[in-house]
Structure 1
């Protein structure tokens, strides 16, 4: 990359690139746009960035960068977009040059920053500034050149892998319009929702409301506005931000940006035109086929497999249910609402929590001891699978007498499978061989039963669920 004399744009966002940012990037004199957001970069912001004289756009948000913001960046007179949010930066925010035009939206959720009041941080103390500058002065000479060279080689390899992977991405992934992660102000959210008009309200959750909005660039979004008066709302917002900054999967609802101000805390999310799976299950206007239901179960299980096994730190959703599964225009399912999610420390299989999931879906050990683990999500998935196939909520009044949804399905296998599945589902499958249909339905329900075993150690692992469901889907397509 060092030989690319007229390089104008570098976009390596939304990967899992780790290590320090190579200072050699500062030698790309023609660079006007640099986006390294949503990675796992650590260390300091290179001083060499101040040599990018023509830089107009710089996004380093959602990483793990520490140290101070180089004052030398004040020399970037053409810089009109800056985002250092969601890092671990500290010290004084520069106030000269292009920083005159930036606001608190460029520095959200960091360490102990200080500076001008419009940055949303406390004023700096003189001795803190000297101490910070002295520390940085020494650190900039200690950063090893060998490490930078190693990281650069890694970037080149990742760049090649990116192009190879891009060619094989599914169409629904490629056509996502949400590659830009710009900051959105509270005022724009008001305009986008017609001042949060009730006609734009599309849902109400545990900690706030969700509105449909139209941004100034024409992007249709879902805006989740938290009710800050509600106990736990701020923690819910922080939990979602912590999770959404590190994950990326075609079956997880994508976050475009956040808005955090004294007036509101909001998440701006990818808009799902077909609403929730719960709506499709219980509306008299819709009836999903077996193939559609299995496809959605594969989507949900794939998302959970990624959260549980697809990254360095395990993410446990803690509230898997049809209301938290949203459908896009192609009826692809996306898991949403990470307000209760927990990130498990490395080499740790469970943690304790006081937060409560949804009655009927929460695993027994979650409700009794507060134990949160991957198997708890698997239990919720199993209950949801049974619900999807039977079209019966686990809290349905028919289960008020002590018999649960799981027990009701369990006693009906294998002889009375057709009596527990959705009657409307059977009516639209009349053209199929009923014996083969009954056999496939039993296979699906058995997965749900194995996932929702009372004892956590008896449940399936979600990574074993996905291939079983895909095998059933192939049989349905024959």
Structure 2
């Protein structure tokens, strides 16, 4: 047994202790079930496990000190359980761990300073627990730490300001009773920092002004040199282990070599703010290269948004960002390559077709991804641009949602927000298109349109829709008796069961596209209903 994947089922009871007796077991995915036992002590003795995902269960008890024996562990997700006790100091011995998610539990005690020894750590979420004490200054030394969240705890003392903490914002430290530190964290200034602050003010007021001309001259020279050598200079968001290359930095010239100088023969897609190329690197690994057109308004912001959001997400139905290449006049993302293209190609290109089971599989994968964005992350993420061209298909026809260029992050206290950035015509919810109002329900609306399009093979901007006739109205007026007259003819057959399933799918699509956001179902309910429909089709 190498890989166990039983997530999102209704499994309950105790986790079997025999899990730790499987010598070849490398991956365990059991998240979103109803397991209510403690974690078997035998599990921590496994030296082959790389990924353990037990989030969103009812697990109890504490973590064993034996966790430090899991030398191969790369990702550990225990969020959304009822685990108690302190975080073991031995956790700091996990030198290969890149992802540690312990949020939404009942952990207490302090954050072990030994976590500063986890040199590969990129993601650490301890939010929504009962952790007290201070944040260890040893965490400043973590070279790859891109995400750190300790909000909703009982922490006190100074927030570290060195290393990657210089890039963190106040939202990651909310609702702690006694934190202090830099003003950008929206906390009180630490009392011990007053003399230091005074010295800094003296330095800024009396010493730096005489040096202003020298600094300006030096800056001009530096800017000139950066412009000349900008294409060699890269800023990476991820470590070399994610890319699988022998070196950690991807330069502009390596991207050119991988894509034959961005040759049109390697172009696999083109969007409003850039193009996607197929790139073959020196180690024969193939990746997708998303190159942003920096002459287009919003391209810089879109690049920054994708980097900020995607680097922290982990889900099998999301396109994974491997690394990035960024300088003054070139920005690109290196992504997983999806050999089967996007859903739009499979719906509309000649010589491509999907049966009803394949289409259901794709949209269920999409609903799983959106459910994770809305409910499985520390804050709700709104994709804002769900459509077939943003749904990619891997070698096994598993759907992956991509393109987070206009996605928005809702904070814990936000149910709705407002934006001036709009999505694609035909897929936008009424409140989003008219007033820029954002909530997770705008994704549900777009998903409803996607359901209609996937099973009718009609775009919401098709020429048959003009005047007051929209796709939503067209489907609603055909429901339920005339549904078989509007669905894609490729799905028609004499099976009465298929007709019943298609009617159920369109009924769900109509519910998703109601005008009032509060009357739309949440994506979790949508996901469950589609899985039930899929079971009928399979039978």
The answer to whether 1:399 aligns with 2:465 is: yes
Once the 2 structures are TM-superposed, how far is the Cα of residue 46 of structure 1 from its aligned partner? 5.3
In the alignment, which residue of structure 1 is the partner of 2:500? Answer: 439
Aligned counterparts of 2:89 and 2:259: Cα–Cα separation in 1: 42
In the alignment, which residue of structure 1 is the partner of 2:301? Answer: 235
Which whole-Å deviations, capped at 9, do the CAs of 1:55-107 have from their partners, x for residues lacking one? Answer: xx932335589998899x7xxxxxxx9635567998777xxxxxxxxxxxxx7
Aligned counterparts of 2:508 and 2:407: Cα–Cα separation in 1: 24
Residues 475/225 of structure 1: CA separation in 2 closer, same or farther (3 Å cut) = same
Contact 2:243 2:323 in 1 (8 A): no
Alignment of 1:53-72 (within 5 A): 58-63=119-124
Aligned counterparts of 1:454 and 1:190: Cα–Cα separation in 2: 47
Aligned counterparts of 1:305 and 1:335: Cα–Cα separation in 2: 12
In the alignment, which residue of structure 1 is the partner of 2:438? Answer: 372
Structure 1: gaps (5+ residues) = 74-80, 94-106, 113-127, 135-176
Aligned counterparts of 2:168 and 2:401: Cα–Cα separation in 1: 30
Aligned counterparts of 1:310 and 1:246: Cα–Cα separation in 2: 12
In the alignment, which residue of structure 2 is the partner of 1:387? Answer: 453
Alignment of 1:447-466 (within 5 A): 447-466=508-527
Per the normalisation by structure 2, the TM-score is 0.62
Aligned counterparts of 2:306 and 2:527: Cα–Cα separation in 1: 25
Aligned counterparts of 1:228 and 1:421: Cα–Cα separation in 2: 40
Once the 2 structures are TM-superposed, how far is the Cα of residue 9 of structure 1 from its aligned partner? 4.2
Aligned counterparts of 1:336 and 1:455: Cα–Cα separation in 2: 27
In the alignment, which residue of structure 2 is the partner of 1:331? Answer: 397
Per the normalisation by structure 1, the TM-score is 0.70
2:372 to 287, 299, 306: 306
Alignment of 1:331-350 (within 5 A): 331-350=397-416
In the alignment, which residue of structure 1 is the partner of 2:167? Answer: 110
Residues 8/470 of structure 1: CA separation in 2 closer, same or farther (3 Å cut) = closer
Once the 2 structures are TM-superposed, how far is the Cα of residue 267 of structure 1 from its aligned partner? 1.5
Aligned counterparts of 1:395 and 1:68: Cα–Cα separation in 2: 55
Q: Secondary structure at the match of 2:443?
A: helix
Aligned counterparts of 2:482 and 2:518: Cα–Cα separation in 1: 28
Which whole-Å deviations, capped at 9, do the CAs of 1:180-208 have from their partners, x for residues lacking one? Answer: 69744123222222222221111112221
Aligned counterparts of 1:243 and 1:343: Cα–Cα separation in 2: 8
Residues 232/183 of structure 1: CA separation in 2 closer, same or farther (3 Å cut) = farther
Alignment of 1:235-384 (within 5 A): 235-384=301-450
2:275 to 196, 209, 218: 209
Contact 2:381 2:409 in 1 (8 A): yes
Which whole-Å deviations, capped at 9, do the CAs of 1:144-175 have from their partners, x for residues lacking one? Answer: xxxxxxxxxxxxxxxxxxxxxxxxxxxxxxxx
Aligned counterparts of 1:235 and 1:460: Cα–Cα separation in 2: 31
In the alignment, which residue of structure 2 is the partner of 1:154? Answer: none
Aligned counterparts of 2:333 and 2:86: Cα–Cα separation in 1: 29
In the alignment, which residue of structure 2 is the partner of 1:140? Answer: none
Which whole-Å deviations, capped at 9, do the CAs of 1:348-368 have from their partners, x for residues lacking one? Answer: 211101101000000000011
Residues 4/312 of structure 1: CA separation in 2 closer, same or farther (3 Å cut) = closer
Contact 2:382 2:408 in 1 (8 A): yes
Once the 2 structures are TM-superposed, how far is the Cα of residue 242 of structure 1 from its aligned partner? 2.0
In the alignment, which residue of structure 2 is the partner of 1:36? Answer: 98
In the alignment, which residue of structure 2 is the partner of 1:422? Answer: 488
Q: How many residues were matched structurally?
A: 382
Aligned counterparts of 1:217 and 1:319: Cα–Cα separation in 2: 34
Contact 1:44 1:68 in 2 (8 A): no
Q: Secondary structure at the match of 2:506?
A: helix
Which whole-Å deviations, capped at 9, do the CAs of 1:410-467 have from their partners, x for residues lacking one? Answer: 11112211210011222xxx3x42x332222111111111101112122111111112
Aligned counterparts of 1:303 and 1:380: Cα–Cα separation in 2: 14
2:533 to 457, 472, 475: 472
Residues 13/263 of structure 1: CA separation in 2 closer, same or farther (3 Å cut) = farther
Alignment of 1:185-196 (within 5 A): 185-186=250-251, 187-196=253-262
Contact 1:203 1:211 in 2 (8 A): yes
Structure 2: gaps (5+ residues) = 1-43, 45-63, 104-109, 127-134, 150-158, 170-192, 200-240
